[in-house]
Structure 1
Amino acid sequence: MFNKILSNSFLIILLLVIRPASANVSLVVLGDSLSAGYGISQADTWVADIERRWQRTHPEFSIINASISGDTTQGGLNRLRDVVARHQPDAVFIELGGNDGLRGFQIDSIQRNLTQMIEYLHGEGIYVALSQIEIPPNMGRRYTSEFSALFGAVAEQHDVPLVPFFMLEIATQPNLMQSDGIHPNLAAQEKIADMMEPKLREILQHVATL
């Protein structure tokens, strides 16, 4: 009888310590207008599309859109603590830097902001994934090249996955872009969700096993 009680107690401890694969896990998208849905309804963004898909197929996963149009890496860093406190995510996908690049912000400054975000999140025990960002060559070949390279450098330095930039497959198709030539339109959201859903799901599946 005593051995049975010990066995049951040990099993309960294991269940409490080891997170099952089906445990509820959440991911915050910390992005700019490309994720916030500039020019379209919040309910029609690619992030909202993924949320609806997961409600049907992976109810143990949730995704929260904490993106703000016009945001920069400095803006993301400034509001990161509040975002974490409000949503308590298990993972954060950082999609920031485009506005920094379009405004010609210093490469070192962008890299420093991304690094501080990642270090803070890691310190809170939160898994991080980083989006590669690309900008048009308006700022000159050297700046554009250095800008593109900084994301891989940050990801490698902090051992975080670097997710390919979803706009590379969208921006070359005028029928998927708004008239400003910068932002994806309503028709593009489902296509972006098709690209991003398996990548973000893989992140949460990994987090669920940690």
Structure 2
Amino acid sequence: MLRRLLTLLTLTCLFTSIQVSAAPILILGDSLSASYGIDEDKGWVNLLSAKLPEHEIINGSVSGETTAGGLRRLPALLESGKPKLVLIELGGNDGLRGFTPQQLKENLTKIIMLSKETHAHVLLSEVMVPPNYGPRYARMFADVYNQLAEEHEITLMPFFMKDIAIYPELMQRDGIHPNAQAQEQIAEFVQPWVTKSFQ
């Protein structure tokens, strides 16, 4: 009886391990996903990991990252992590540096295609630039994400900062990055989009 119980426990642990490693998720983002200005364990990616214990979440986010930087790092991340879902949250720093929407689209296109070549699902996060960049640039910038979602038949997740940036109490002093208080809200926002990506 004891031997049977031990065997059952071993198989359960093995099955659980297989389930966890069967669907790794790669978050390819910038400072908004890299816990800039707060403890990493309080960041939304870490909080999301706790909400989705059946998935291994790999945070490939780097503060200050552009789409070009993400593209350079992506092959190694795909090779090492072998993600089944790639959540792309990049473009904000491209906008801050005044890169053209065409450059943004070209880099994101390559990121999407590289991810798809590994048979990973792709979840693209919308990114918006501050209104002081002008309505024309902001519109062209936003259009890139809609075009990519349609052209590559991938899901476009609304920008998770849209309902946070309007509340000063949820932002750090720089007015750009969410504070620790906002992280749980972001994790709750992202979770259903990630879950749907596997359905």
- TM over 0.5, shorter chain: yes
Deviation at 1:139, TM superposition (A): 1.9
C-alpha RMSD of matched pairs (Å): 1.5
Residue 34 (structure 1) aligned to one of 29, 32, 35:
32
Identify which of 97, 105, 112 aligns with 2:106: 112
CA separation in 1, counterparts of 2:58 and 2:150?
A: 26
Residue in structure 2 matched with residue 155 of structure 1 by the alignment: 149
Cα deviations by residue, 1:5-32 (Å, 9 ceiling, x for unpaired): xxxxxxxxxxxxxxxx998311111000
Query: Structure 2: how far apart are the matches of 1:119 and 1:157?
Result: 11
Deviation at 1:49, TM superposition (A): 0.3
Give the CA deviation at 1:62: 2.4
> What residue number does 1:8 align with?
none
What secondary structure, in the 3-state scheme, does the structure 1 residue paired with 2:166 have? coil
Please list every run of 5 or more consecutive structure 2 residues that lacks an aligned counterpart in the other structure.
1-18
Partner of 1:5: none
Question: What is the CA-CA distance between 1:122 and the residue it aligns to?
Answer: 1.1
Deviation at 1:138, TM superposition (A): 2.0
Give yes or no for contact 2:28–2:88 (8 Å, CA) kept in 1: yes
* Superposition map of 1:1-210 within 5 A: 24-55=22-53, 59=54, 61-203=55-197, 205-206=198-199
* Partner amino acid, structure 2, of 1:184: P
Task: Quote how far apart the aligned CAs of 1:155 are.
Answer: 1.0
State the number of aligned residues.
181
Distance (Å, rounded) in 2 between the aligned partners of 1:69 and 1:172: 22
- Asked which structure has the greater CA Rg, the reply is 1
Deviations 1:94-125 (A, max 9, x none): 00000101111011110000001111111121
What is the alpha-carbon distance in structure 2 between the residues aligned to residue 164 and residue 73 of structure 1? 18
Residue by residue, what CA displacement relative to the aligned partner does 1:60-106 show, whole Å, maximum 9, x if unpaired? x2222110000000000011001111111111000000010111101
